[in-house]
């Protein structure tokens, strides 16, 4: 029987001696710690582009928050750790975006939330204090994990990071290929895919010891290991 806290399409992995679930929703669930890890939410990115005169569609903030709602309902986390880039830019702090965030946080006031500052957070500023989100600098040590925004090594802890928005390329017959968001593990660190919509991705090349976990069709699967 599938655990109510593990989607049938999630992929279990063992990192730092802990069982983690790589979720097709582009997040990591750590059941023993009761923690969800989410990287690169980029709230208000579309609003930022519209402020610069770019005709991009609206609604991405509500869509992103609704996707977090689904994870909270499925896993009942004690805490969510955001691995950087919560707000996209100062222009994202529109009355509409801030109101949506306030309503969303009020609906989940019992869930602890921590933001590890990323490069976009330094420009956008910390979330409003009224949201009750603890804000820390990297590395934020939590159990055996060093929670970071930028991929890096740590002397004693396994690093969970974001920033790169990793994608991998799968090749089919002929010249067919497809790019997919992915989790990437490399030694004592792992990089999460960008959670936010409208964020793009950076193609990561294969390397010795590097493992890719692709996302597609609401499933996560491990790609064959590199030589």
pLDDT of residue 48 exceeding 80, the answer is: no
CATH of domain 18-164: 3.60.21
* Residue 226 confidence (pLDDT): 65
* Residue 110 confidence (pLDDT): 97
* Residue 90 confidence (pLDDT): 62
* Residue 197 confidence (pLDDT): 75
For residue 2, what are the contacts with CB-CB under 8 A and spacing of at least 6? 8
Residue 120 host element (H or E): helix 119-124
For residue 100, what are the contacts with CB-CB under 8 A and spacing of at least 6? 61, 62, 65
pLDDT of residue 195 exceeding 90, the answer is: yes
Q: What is the overall mean pLDDT for the chain? A: 88
Cβ-contact 178, 169 below 8 angstroms: yes
Report the helix count and the strand count for the chain, using DSSP H and E. Answer: 4, 16
* Average of per-residue pLDDT across 29-54: 78
- DSSP secondary structure letter of residue 87: B
* Residue 61 confidence (pLDDT): 86
| pTM confidence score | 0.90
pLDDT of residue 55 exceeding 70, the answer is: no
Question: What phi and psi values does residue 8 have, to the nearest 5 degrees?
Answer: -60, -20
* Residue 50 confidence (pLDDT): 46
* Average of per-residue pLDDT across 134-139: 98
Among residues 55, 77, 57, 58, the alpha carbon closest in space to that of 68 is found at 77
* Average of per-residue pLDDT across 66-71: 96
* Residue 1 confidence (pLDDT): 30
Cβ-based neighbour number of residue 149 at 10 Å: 26
Q: Where are the domains of the chain?
A: 18-164
Question: What phi and psi values does residue 90 have, to the nearest 5 degrees?
Answer: -60, -35
Would you state the structure tokens that stand for residue 162, as one six-digit string?
A: 């974001």
Most confident segment among 58-62, 163-167, 194-198:
163-167
* Average of per-residue pLDDT across 102-113: 97
Give the number of residues written for the chain: 227
Cα Dmax for the chain: 55
Any alpha helices (H) in the chain, and if so which ranges? 45-51, 60-75, 95-107, 119-124
* Average of per-residue pLDDT across 102-117: 97
pLDDT of residue 49 exceeding 50, the answer is: no
DSSP 43-75: BTHHHHHHHTT----S-HHHHHHHHHHHHHHHH
Residue 131 to residue 108: CA distance in whole angstroms: 10
Among residues 127, 138, 120, 139, the alpha carbon closest in space to that of 196 is found at 120
Strand partners, 57: none
* Average of per-residue pLDDT across 134-159: 98
Residue 91 to residue 196: CA distance in whole angstroms: 17
């Amino acid at each position: 029987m599938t655990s109510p806290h593990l989607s049938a399409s999630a992929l279990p992995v063992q990192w730092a001696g802990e069982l983690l679930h790589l979720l097709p929703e582009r997040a990591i669930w750590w059941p023993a710690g009761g923690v969800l890890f989410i990287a690169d939410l980029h709230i208000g990115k579309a609003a930022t582009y519209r402020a610069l005169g770019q005709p991009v569609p609206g609604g991405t903030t509500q869509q992103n928050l609704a996707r977090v709602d689904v994870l909270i309902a499925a896993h009942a986390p004690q805490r969510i750790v955001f691995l950087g880039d919560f707000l996209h830019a100062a222009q994202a702090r529109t009355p509409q975006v801030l109101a949506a965030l306030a309503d969303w946080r009020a609906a989940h006031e019992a869930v602890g939330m921590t933001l590890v500052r990323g490069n976009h957070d330094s420009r956008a500023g910390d979330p409003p204090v009224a949201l009750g989100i603890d804000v820390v600098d990297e590395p934020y040590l939590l159990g055996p994990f060093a929670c970071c925004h930028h991929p890096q090594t740590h002397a004693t802890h396994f690093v969970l990071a974001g920033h790169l928005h990793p994608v991998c390329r799968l090749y089919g017959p002929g010249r067919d290929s497809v790019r997919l968001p992915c989790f990437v593990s490399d030694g004592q660190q792992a990089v999460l895919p960008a959670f936010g919509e409208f964020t793009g991705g950076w193609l990561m090349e294969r390397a010795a010891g590097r493992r890719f976990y692709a996302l597609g069709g609401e499933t996560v699967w491990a790609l064959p290991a590199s030589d």
